[in-house]
Amino acid sequence: MNAPAIIAAVDLKKKYDDLEVVKGINFSVEPAQCFGLLGPNGAGKSTTMRMIMGLSDVTEGSLEVFGVPVQKMTRNIKAKIGLVPQETNLDPDISVVENLETFGRYFALPSALISERVPKLLEFMQLTEKARAPVMALSGGMQRRLVIARALIGEPELVVLDEPTTGLDPQARVLIWKQLLALKKQGRTLLLTTHYMDEAQRLCDQIIVIDEGKILDQGTPQQLIDRHVKGHVFEVQKPDLAKSTDGKWDQEDIGDSVLYFVRSTQEFIADLPENAVYLHRPANLEDVFLRLTGRTLREN
Amino acid sequence: MQMPGTKYVLAVSGRQYSVWKKFIGSSMASNVANPILFLFAFGFGLGQFIDAMDGMSYLTFVVAGMIAYSAAFSASFETTIGSFTRYFTMGNWDAILSTPVTLTELLMGEVLWAAAKALISSVTVLVVGWVWGGVPSLSGALLALPIVFLASICFACVGLAATAYAKGYEFFSYFFTFWVTPMFVFCGVFFEISRFPEVIQYIAWAFPMTHLVAAIRPMSAGLPIDLTMLALHSAYILIISVIAFVAANRKMRQRLYD
């Protein structure tokens, strides 16, 4: 028998008046795993996260966090969760250290414990040199790192990360990835939403892809890749396409070229005309995401 | 519903205190300068035309009014412009509500700090007024401070209720025009409200400010104190505080949770 799930959603629904934004989803997040919640804008990710944080009422179905229904979320449970919100809402009136100390007091931690944890968190997020700096003096990447450090002040068992690396440079993202993996090694559970599929592929043990309030599929990144995009992608420019046209190949027309998703590369290359112009690369989670949720723009 | 915890309420007030400490110079300078300017205008200027009001020197009369008004203005400002900025512009409340602090504790913390700041303002006016010679009974004035603090809680709660309904900063122009300015004009700060037509007097007594002024003025003037009236004034102020806090809490819950 596995350890009890950290988060368990059964037929979870959320309605705003007549508009149903989460339409009966089921998932469970196991301890010490990084669980990815992927989907285009407006898919229902943020609403689901708000319900997990107890900030939004569950309309139907059940949602349990640490084995307790979110409607009955107590202070002790809230203290086990650290949130990294999408908007960087640091306190601009006080310094880096004071931001962490103040948050420690919101968790009712004793002063001695706060002073013990703050330098460690600064070190962990490589902000030690900026300890006394005002928040406004930090770069975007540093502010993001501070938001993550702040979420860790209560040593949470569950860290909820809403697009933690959006808008950051590659150096900052790599550092954050490394530290998130370190958190997982410490046995903490991570719930992650992101629009960067490389990020999800690198960090997540389990992924659900949701769109229009429904789960389209779930599994490990590798399972999803195998299931939907087979392992290899050939982007072949028109008009010299694969000779077999009898539905032998799993393909998708994207305009000037056609994408083929194939398992056996040799067999496919043999099926291409001599003068075909193509690009071959391993399939990734981005291919899965686009196949599942389509290529049309959202937010229109 | 979780019982509010003192530690969590103080954590919220503590954050405000630590910001205030950084700007203590400018904050105290305006706290001291403001009443001096007013006392100068009303004590020297207007005071020369008025010998006595309500059985005391006009200076004594105005100092008591100013003690009350500085508390009202300070507390009102803190939980409107101040709180709205933290809630709406800075996202400070969203950050706090992701921690074990509950909304009720957050609002209590806001009110507690606003009232503390208002009390600091009042004490500054009291000191300036005393040095100026407008406080015949210093001990009476000090005994009035708990009532000033209670009323400051009330002003803070009403401000917070306005914040809960505010869609933008423009909304507060109504609040200041129809709530704060009348407290300055109609509630007995500069002259006895008995000089108004009766209808206006009834309206004036609806404002907690009128009750605060009426409660503390005899105390700082060293006049005999009617304990029953003192209790009634305090009870009215307390009732308005509770109503405003419940309204603020309810409306804010609707806005922040869905």
Q: B8 and A106: CB-CB below 8 Å?
A: yes
pLDDT at A42: 85
Residue B1 lies in a domain: no
CA dist A74 and A284 (Å) reads: 40
pLDDT at A1: 47
List the single range of A221-230, B27-36, B119-128, B177-186 with lowest mean pLDDT. Answer: B27-36
Q: Are residues B5 and A108, on separate chains, in Cβ contact within 8 Å?
A: yes
Q: Do strands A189-193 and A232-237 pair parallel, antiparallel, or not at all (unpaired)?
A: unpaired
pLDDT at B53: 87
Host domain of residue B54: 24-256
Report helix, strand or coil for A233: strand
Cβ contacts from A onto B, under 8 A:
76
CB proximity B4 to A under 8 Å? no
For residue B67, the tally of other CB atoms under 10 A from its CB is 30
Is B7 a domain residue? no
Query: Are A93 and B98 in contact (CB < 8 Å)?
Result: no
| CB-CB neighbors (< 8 A) of A92 in chain B | 90
Going by C-beta distance under 8 Å and a sequence separation of 6 or more, which residues neighbour residue A162? Answer: A46, A49, A83, A84, A85, A86, A193
Question: What are the average pLDDT values for consecutive 10-residue runs of chain A, which has 300 residues?
Answer: 84 93 95 95 91 94 96 94 94 95 97 98 96 94 96 97 92 94 97 94 95 94 92 92 85 90 90 92 92 74
Q: B89 vs chain A: nearest CA distance in angstroms?
A: 9
B2: confidence class by pLDDT, cuts 50, 70, 90: confident
Give a yes or no: residue B108 inside a domain: yes
Residue B49 has pLDDT above 90, yes or no: no
What's the mean pLDDT in B216-234?
96
B231 in any annotated domain: yes
Helices (H), chain A: 45-52, 75-78, 96-106, 111-124, 140-151, 170-185, 197-203, 221-229, 265-271, 285-293
Residue range B137-194, pLDDT digits in tens:
999 999 999 999 999 999 999 999 999 999 999 999 999 999 999 999 999 998 899 9
From chain A, the residues in CB contact with B102 under 8 A are: 75
Query: How many domains is chain B partitioned into structurally?
Result: 1
**Residue B174 is assigned to a structural domain of this protein:** yes
Q: How far apart are CA A272 and CA B182, in angstroms?
A: 85
Domain presence at residue B15: no
pLDDT at position B1, please?
63
Q: Do B237 and B149 meet the contact criterion of CB atoms below 8 Å apart? A: no
This complex has an ipTM of: 0.92
| Mean local confidence (pLDDT), B70-97 | 95
Given the structure tokens 């719930």, which residue do they identify?
Answer: A191
CA dist., res. B234 & res. B148, Å (int):
10
pLDDT of residue B28: 85
SS (H, E, C) chain B: CCCCCHHHHHHHHHHHHHHHHHCHHHHHHHHHHHHHHHHHHHHHHHHHCCCEECCEEHHHHHHHHHHHHHHHHHHHHHHHHHHHHHHHHCCHHHHHHCCCCCHHHHHHHHHHHHHHHHHHHHHHHHHHHHHHCCCCCHHHHHHHHHHHHHHHHHHHHHHHHHHHHCCCCCHHHHHHHHHHHHHHHCCCCCCCHHHCCHHHHHHHHHCHHHHHHHHHHHHHHCCCCCHHHHHHHHHHHHHHHHHHHHHHHHHHHHHHCC
Nearest to B96 among A75, A87, A106 (CB): A106
Say what the pLDDT of residue A26 is. 96
Identify the contact set of chain A against chain B, taking CB-CB distances under 8 A. 16, 50, 53, 55-57, 74-76, 78-79, 81, 83, 85, 87, 89-94, 98, 102-103, 105-108, 150, 154
pTM for the model: 0.92
Contacts with B101 from chain A: Cβ below 8 Å: 106
Residue A264: the pLDDT is 87
